[in-house]
């Protein structure tokens, strides 16, 4: 085997070492491709009707803008005053349960959605959820 390095290779190496140019990191480029544009909203303080109306507008606008991941913060319902009203459902008047149900029962919105799932702890955990939107065709 010939272990001799050619003069051209030595010159190329020296040129490379002295160069100020950065080598592109292909791993970072791949990571950027997999990162989805994300928007989030916080529904604390909204009534049920206000929250549903706001969420519908938010999803439609985000879909139109090409956003692919939404974080919707509802809270856990720990401070809800619905316990005092015997005529109100204990769960469905809490945004944590009612907003995802509203979305799932809205056929127009569901045509734009790939998946709805509970958020990770860093994004609010059980007090929020993700909505993954389809690409615009």
* pTM given for the model: 0.66
CATH number, domain at 105?
Answer: 3.30.1370.110
In a domain, 30, yes or no: no
What does the pLDDT read at residue 97?
87
- Whole-angstrom Cα distance, residue 93 to residue 136? 33
In a domain, 9, yes or no: no
In a domain, 5, yes or no: no
| SS3 category, 69 | strand
In a domain, 75, yes or no: yes
User: pLDDT tens-digit profile of 6-53?
Assistant: 899 999 888 888 887 777 767 666 655 455 789 999 998 888 899 999
In a domain, 10, yes or no: no
In a domain, 108, yes or no: yes
User: pLDDT tens-digit profile of 59-110?
Assistant: 999 999 999 999 999 987 555 555 555 444 444 457 888 999 999 999 999 9
Q: Would you tell me the crossing angle of helices 48-64 and 95-104 to the nearest 10 degrees?
A: 50
- The domain of 76 spans 36-133
- Whole-angstrom Cα distance, residue 82 to residue 60? 29
In a domain, 18, yes or no: no
Tokens of 72: 């919707």
Tokens of 121: 């702890």
Task: For residue 66, give Cα distances in angstroms to 14, 24, 46, 63, 132.
Answer: 46, 27, 26, 5, 11
Judge whether residue 58 has pLDDT over 80: yes
Task: For residue 13, give Cα distances in angstroms to 16, 22, 23, 82.
Answer: 5, 14, 14, 72
Task: Give me the number of domains the chain comprises.
Answer: 1
What does the pLDDT read at residue 88?
45
In a domain, 2, yes or no: no
């Amino acid at each position: 085997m010939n272990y001799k390095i050619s003069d051209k290779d030595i010159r190329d190496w020296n040129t490379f070492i002295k160069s100020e140019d950065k080598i592109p990191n292909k791993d970072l480029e791949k990571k950027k491709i997999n990162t989805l544009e994300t928007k989030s909203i916080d529904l604390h303080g909204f009534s049920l009707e206000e929250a549903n109306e706001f969420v519908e507008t938010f999803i439609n606008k985000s879909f139109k803008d090409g956003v692919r991941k939404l974080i919707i913060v509802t809270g856990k319902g720990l401070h809800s005053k619905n316990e005092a009203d015997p005529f109100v459902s204990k769960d469905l008047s809490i945004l944590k349960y009612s907003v995802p149900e509203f979305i799932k029962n809205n056929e127009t919105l569901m045509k734009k959605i790939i998946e709805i799932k509970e958020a990770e702890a860093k994004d609010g955990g059980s007090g929020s959820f993700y909505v993954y939107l389809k690409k615009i065709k």
